[in-house]
Amino acid sequence: MKFTSKFATAAAVAALTIVLGACGSKSAQSGKKDAAHSVALVTDGGGIDDKSFNQSEWEGLQKWGKKNGLVKGVGGYNYAQSNSDADFVPNVNKMIQAKYKTIIGSGYKLEKTISDAAKKNPKTNFIIIDDVINQKNVASATFKDNEAAFLAGVSAAMTTKTNKVGFIGGVHGQVIDRFEAGFRQGVAAVNKKITVDVKYADSFSKPDVGQALAQAMFNNNEDVIYQAAGGSGAGVFSAAKNAIKSKKVWVIGVDRDQTAEGKYKGGNLTLTSTVKGVDIAVEKLADAAKKNKFPGGKTVVYGLKDDGVKLTRGNMSAKAWAKVKEYKQKIVSGDIKVAEKPSQLK
């Protein structure tokens, strides 16, 4: 077997390379371990680079970790990416076994997993974002996305020239319903004649679908699109960058300031972004856990009032920005109640 021996030589050489290489690579870790206050994040399918929800949370967690001088990894702070829904339970369990003290479930899709795990592991703290779990060791954080989406609707209505705007959602459900309802209500508050074209990508991780939907909307003369589609929203920006070569179009970003995503040669096409303070929520809850004051069993609601959600100034005209501020005041004072579901709209 001549081939086998040749192969064995090759394998030995490669193995040696790896060993030597491994010796050479230095561990770039710095910071200390504090297992009693370690925090881990489990994503909901999008990665921590989804330019949206998961990324915001991870940024909040990183900020918290650096502030406290903790190491990334076991005993400090870390994340686990879920490649599919089947990974939720193993990921959470692996975090529990790695002795992370506080575990964050990123988004409503992890509600069942976190709820089950919390029952079986009463000594571990859990945080669920965007959903409510009534258990002693779970803190819930929800956001009034509809309020920020309302303001996005106002800015879109003040900016559109064609009186046609679009909305691209991720997946139908309670959370994105809030975005859709708020946006449509905001547009209608400024001008009832403006039509809102609502489409769904049916996924938070399909930029190609987002791009195709946005392309069709731009072709249909819709000149402002609000995307609430997580990772699929990246495609909306790609489509806009193509469309802007021939006409003026705008995209409204979601969950975090997406100004960077709207850069193109000659300007920026991100009109504004609705910012969801998940990073602040994560940071605050991790801080509370660090001080051994974890708000287990409680639900924290973030809205326009406390800047838990907000709309960025972005590239809005002064007139539009003034209108946004006017409506923000009305919502904060309670003069306007923003719908949570499209079915509540007239």
Partner 1 sequence: MRIKNKNIQSIWIPIIAIILGLLVGAIVMLLSGFNPIENYINLFTGAVGTPNAIGEVLRAATPLILTGAGFAIANSAGFFNIGLAGQALVGWLCSVAFANAFPSWPGYLLLPGAIIAGALAGAIWSGIAGFLRAYFGASEVITTIMLNYIALYGTNAIIKGVLAHGNNDYSPTIPVQARLRTPFLENLTQNSTFHWGIIIAIVAAIFLWWLMKKTTLGFEIRAVGMNPDASRYAGMSTKKTIIAAMLISGALAGLGGAMEGLGDFQNIVVNTALPDIGFDGMSVSLLAGGAPIGIIFSALLFGVLKIGGLNISITSTTPSEIVNIVIASVIFFVGAQYMIRYFFDKSGKKGKKNGKKGAAKGKADAPTGTDADQAAPTTQGGDTE
Least separation, in Å, of the C-beta of 74 and partner 1? 6
Least separation, in Å, of the C-beta of 240 and partner 1? 23
202 binds partner 1 (CB under 8 A): yes
CB-CB neighbours of 8 under 10 Å: 11
Q: What six digits make up the tokens of 222? A: 């819709």
* Complex with partner 1: residue 330 or 341, whichever CB lies closer: 341
**Binding test (CB under 8 A) with partner 1, winner from 78, 142, 155, 312:** 78
Number of residues binding to partner 1, judged by CB under 8 A = 56
Tell me which residue of 154, 155, 169, 148 sits closest to 250, measured CA to CA.
155
Residues 311/274, Cβ–Cβ less than 8 Å = yes
Per-residue contact string for residues 88-107; x = within reach of partner 1 by CB under 8 A:
-xxx-xxx-xx---------
109 binds partner 1 (CB under 8 A): yes
**Window of 19-27, 190-198, 211-219, 308-316 that interacts with partner 1 by CB under 8 A:** 19-27
Least separation, in Å, of the C-beta of 251 and partner 1? 22
Least separation, in Å, of the C-beta of 343 and partner 1? 9
55 binds partner 1 (CB under 8 A): no
Q: How far apart are CA 164 and CA 110, in angstroms?
A: 36
For β-strands 309-311 and 270-276, DSSP reports them as antiparallel
132 binds partner 1 (CB under 8 A): no
206 binds partner 1 (CB under 8 A): yes
66 binds partner 1 (CB under 8 A): no
179 binds partner 1 (CB under 8 A): no
* Complex with partner 1: residue 229 or 251, whichever CB lies closer: 229
Least separation, in Å, of the C-beta of 110 and partner 1? 11
**Binding test (CB under 8 A) with partner 1, winner from 86, 123, 266, 334:** 86
Residues 224/165, Cβ–Cβ less than 8 Å = yes
| CB burial string 26-46: b at 16+ within 10 A, e below | eeeeebeebeebbbbbbbbbb
199 binds partner 1 (CB under 8 A): no
* Complex with partner 1: residue 11 or 345, whichever CB lies closer: 11
Least separation, in Å, of the C-beta of 119 and partner 1? 10
**Window of 82-90, 179-187, 212-220, 329-337 that interacts with partner 1 by CB under 8 A:** 82-90
Which residues bind to partner 1, rule: CB under 8 A? 1-4, 7, 11, 14-15, 17-19, 21-22, 25, 27-29, 40, 45, 47, 72-74, 78-81, 83-87, 89-91, 93-95, 97-98, 109, 112, 117, 120-121, 171-174, 177, 202-206, 341
